[in-house]
Amino acid sequence: MPEHNAGSDTLSPFPWNRNFETGIEEIDQQHKVLVDILNRLARHFVSGVARVDCEHILDELLDYAAFHFKSEEAIWHEGLGTGDAVRNHHDSHQLFFAQIQIFRGSKAREEQVLADIFDYLARWLAFHILESDRRMALTVLELKRGSTLAEARRVVDDQLSGQMSSTVSALLEKYAAMSARVARSIREARRDRP
């Protein structure tokens, strides 16, 4: 069941959860904006408004994602240099944009394309924040405490294993189920439109 957003009178199919917090305020605030835009996009998709209105919100999400990715990558670059982890993170951002363009170019029925876009966005965002961004942020914060890179990675691996890993897995399953329900609602709302 989608959860109510305390700061809003509307339901949020993708509720913010404190487990998404990375410990870097700038990144966390930007992630909250992305989640807010994603929720607005989902509400528009489900409400059956014209696809062009949904496309405007999707464009807003992509524009903000581009801003956020650039900002985030600057933080990783400053804190971690130009190693494989930073390059791989950048590549995952580029693949995100490429996948959205594939969806947009799809010849499938509108309701299926919109459902697929939302499902992808929700799952990608949850996984990317919970797995990749948190790992990078915790590593940067550990380096700022004076650890070497090897020590920081070991500390972060310990933090993200065990019970924390179970929590992340449970959250990913929860968000995957919510995403599937919203995608189903999108297909039904759009299919029943005159």
Domains of the chain: 24-191 (1.20.120)
Which contiguous run of DSSP H or E holds residue 76? helix 51-80
Q: What tens digit of pLDDT does each residue of 41-60 get?
A: 888 877 776 666 778 888 99
Long-range contacts of 99-106, Cβ-Cβ distance < 8 Å, separation of 24 or more: 99/124, 100/58, 100/62
Q: How far is CA 182 from CA 18, 107, 111, 121, 133, in A?
A: 22, 21, 12, 12, 25
Q: Which range has highest mean pLDDT (34-38, 62-66, 185-189)? A: 62-66
Sequence-ordered list of residues with C-beta below 8 angstroms from that of 115, at least 6 positions apart, any chain: 45, 183, 184, 186, 187
Mean pLDDT score of the chain, rounded to an integer?
Answer: 84
Q: What tens digit of pLDDT does each residue of 158-180 get?
A: 988 865 677 777 777 777 777 77
